[in-house]
């Protein structure tokens, strides 16, 4: 019975300090003849209680340390979240800036397209003007040929006129001479 009591006491103590009083009661109920054995068990129980208290304190310290680490990590996580939010705002600002630049580029491309259209229209006008200039040059060349032809005719007519003038002068001189001869003959036969 004493062995059973000691075993029951030890088992109860292993299960926890809350059942220690109940275990001691069982041992005492088993008999008073073995006080030395009870003293050993109580000493062991005190040691076990001390170990459990130390373990509890160690665990409490570990919990406290882990809680502090968790708090620090949560603070670091909050800092990181804040840094991420700040960087995200920078990214958003850059995206807006990029979109604005893209809009500027699109507008410039529209402007370039409009200018290219105007350039095409101007080139078309230049081509028409060049065609008109070439046509006018061709007409001018035709007029020049006509002018050259007319100048040749004027030269020929001037030459003919000069010849006619010379013939007319000679004919007048001849006529005057004939008149003078006729007058002379007329006077002679009167």
- Who contacts 38 (Cβ-Cβ below 8 Å, separation ≥6)? 27, 28
- Who contacts 6 (Cβ-Cβ below 8 Å, separation ≥6)? 27, 37, 41
3 pLDDT above the threshold of 50: no
39 pLDDT above the threshold of 80: yes
Return the minimum-mean-pLDDT range out of 23-27, 159-163, 184-188: 23-27
Question: What pLDDT is stored for residue 10 in this prediction?
Answer: 47
Question: What is the distance, to the nearest Å, from the Cα of residue 151 to the centroid of all Cα atoms in its chain?
Answer: 73
Q: What string of DSSP letters covers 63-113?
A: HHHHHHHHHHHHHHHHHHHHHHHHHHHHHHHHHHHHHHHHHHHHHHHHHHH
Query: Residues 24, 39: contact at Cβ < 8 Å?
Result: no
Smallest CA-to-CA distance from 25 within 15, 14, 16, 12 is with 12
9 pLDDT above the threshold of 80: no
**Burial of 24: CB neighbours in 10 Å, binned 0-12, 13-18, 19+:** middle
Percent of the chain with pLDDT over 90: 66
Query: Residues 88, 80: contact at Cβ < 8 Å?
Result: no
62 pLDDT above the threshold of 70: yes
E strand or H helix at 11: helix 2-15
pLDDT band at 181 (very low <50, low <70, confident <90, very high): confident
pLDDT band at 186 (very low <50, low <70, confident <90, very high): confident
pLDDT band at 190 (very low <50, low <70, confident <90, very high): low
State the Cα–Cα distance between residues 116 and 44, nearest whole angstrom.
102
How many CA atoms lie within 13 Å of 50's alpha carbon, on the beta-carbon side?
6
Sign of CA dihedral 4, 10, 11, 17: positive
State the Cα–Cα distance between residues 180 and 184, nearest whole angstrom.
6
């Amino acid at each position: 019975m004493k062995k059973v009591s000691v075993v029951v006491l030890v088992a109860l103590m292993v299960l926890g300090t809350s059942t220690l009083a109940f275990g001691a009661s069982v041992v005492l109920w088993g008999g008073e003849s073995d006080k030395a054995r009870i003293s050993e068990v109580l000493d062991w129980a005190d040691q076990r209680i001390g170990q459990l208290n130390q373990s509890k304190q160690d665990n409490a310290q570990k919990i406290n340390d882990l809680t502090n680490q968790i708090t620090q990590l949560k603070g670091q996580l909050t800092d990181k979240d804040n840094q991420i939010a700040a960087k995200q705002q920078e990214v958003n600002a850059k995206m807006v800036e990029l979109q604005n630049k893209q809009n500027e580029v699109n507008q410039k491309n529209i402007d370039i397209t409009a200018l290219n259209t105007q350039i095409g229209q101007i080139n078309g006008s230049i081509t028409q003007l060049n065609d008109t200039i070439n046509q006018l040059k061709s007409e001018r060349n035709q007029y020049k040929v006509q002018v050259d032809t007319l100048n040749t005719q004027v030269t020929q007519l001037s030459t003919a006129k000069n010849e006619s003038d010379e013939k007319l002068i000679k004919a007048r001189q001849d006529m005057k001479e004939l008149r003078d001869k006729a007058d002379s003959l007329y006077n002679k036969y009167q």
